[in-house]
């Protein structure tokens, strides 16, 4: 029997119909049955400030609980000003606090970045990876997923093009192997 892993999918764009959300949903649709993928929303998270640690907002508690139940994390993000969108960085910060209680610790991860331009979100991808190193999250290295000209991934009816589907299928297969390989992954139902 194949182990089933819960994957928290974090979408860096807060826009309801963004290309980033469409890309995240396409990746989820390509995932095999061994990955139970679900989007963990970040748009309602108040900005992190240590002043709220003593009585965390309900949205922080919900977010931290959602991540703590995950076996792995898939970050799918646009690039804003050659870096990470503010909402995504805030979510990373909320999950990392209070000190010594990070919900991210040891979770295997993958980062997919996109841009409507030719650089494909390279800056955002690497800025996220920099934070994940500090958070002790082993990140899938290959294939790298910098998606340029994201609008061209989808055809006229909103379906992935054959070329996009082939690449994303390869990426998902590598992520499945990564989640199973990394020691921080645990079958669903296990305690952290």
**pLDDT tens for each residue of the chain, 192 residues long:** 467 899 999 999 999 889 999 999 999 999 999 999 999 999 999 999 999 999 999 999 999 999 999 999 999 999 888 899 999 999 999 999 998 899 999 999 999 998 888 877 898 999 999 999 999 999 999 999 998 888 888 888 888 888 888 999 999 999 999 999 995 444 444 444
Tokens of 98: 């209070």
Alpha-helix residue ranges (DSSP H) falling in the chain: 19-30, 58-68, 86-96, 122-134, 162-181
pTM assigned to the model: 0.92
Beta bridge partners of 83: 80
Domains of the chain: 5-181 (3.40.50.360)
Q: Is 106 exposed, middle or buried (0-12, 13-18, 19+ CB in 10 A)?
A: middle
Place of tokens 């990955």: 35
Distant-in-sequence contacts of 80-86, Cβ < 8 A, 24+ apart = 80/124, 82/123, 82/124, 83/123, 83/124, 83/127, 84/12, 84/124, 84/127, 84/128, 84/131, 85/12, 85/13, 85/14, 85/124
Q: What pLDDT score does 183 carry? A: 58
Residue pair 187/5 in contact by the 8 Å Cβ criterion: yes
Would you state the pLDDT for residue 9? 98
> Which tokens in the block code for residue 89?
């960085």
For residues 37 and 74, the answer to whether their CB atoms sit within 8 Å is: yes
Place of tokens 């499945």: 176
Half-sphere exposure of 79 (CA within 13 A, CB side): 26
Contact (Cβ atoms closer than 8 angstroms) between residue 125 and residue 144: yes
CB 53 within 8 A of CB 96: no
Helix (H, G, I), strand (E, B) or coil at 155: coil
């Amino acid at each position: 029997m194949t182990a089933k892993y819960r994957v928290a999918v974090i979408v860096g764009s807060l826009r309801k119909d963004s290309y980033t959300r469409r890309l995240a949903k396409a990746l989820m649709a390509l995932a095999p049955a061994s990955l139970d993928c679900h989007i963990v929303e970040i748009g309602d998270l108040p900005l992190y400030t240590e002043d709220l640690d003593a009585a965390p907002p309900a949205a922080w508690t919900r977010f931290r609980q959602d991540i703590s139940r995950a076996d792995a994390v898939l970050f799918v993000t646009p690039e804003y000003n050659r870096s990470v969108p503010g909402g995504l960085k805030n979510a990373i910060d909320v999950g990392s606090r209070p000190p010594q209680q990070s919900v991210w610790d040891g979770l295997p991860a993958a980062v997919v970045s996109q841009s409507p331009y030719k650089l494909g979100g390279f800056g955002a991808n690497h800025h996220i990876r920099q934070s994940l190193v500090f958070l002790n999250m082993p990140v899938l290295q290959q294939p790298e997923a910098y998606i340029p000209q994201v609008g061209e991934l989808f055809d006229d009816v909103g379906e992935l093009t054959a070329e996009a589907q082939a690449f994303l299928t390869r990426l998902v297969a590598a992520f499945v192997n990564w989640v199973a390989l990394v020691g921080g992954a645990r079958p669903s139902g296990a305690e952290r």
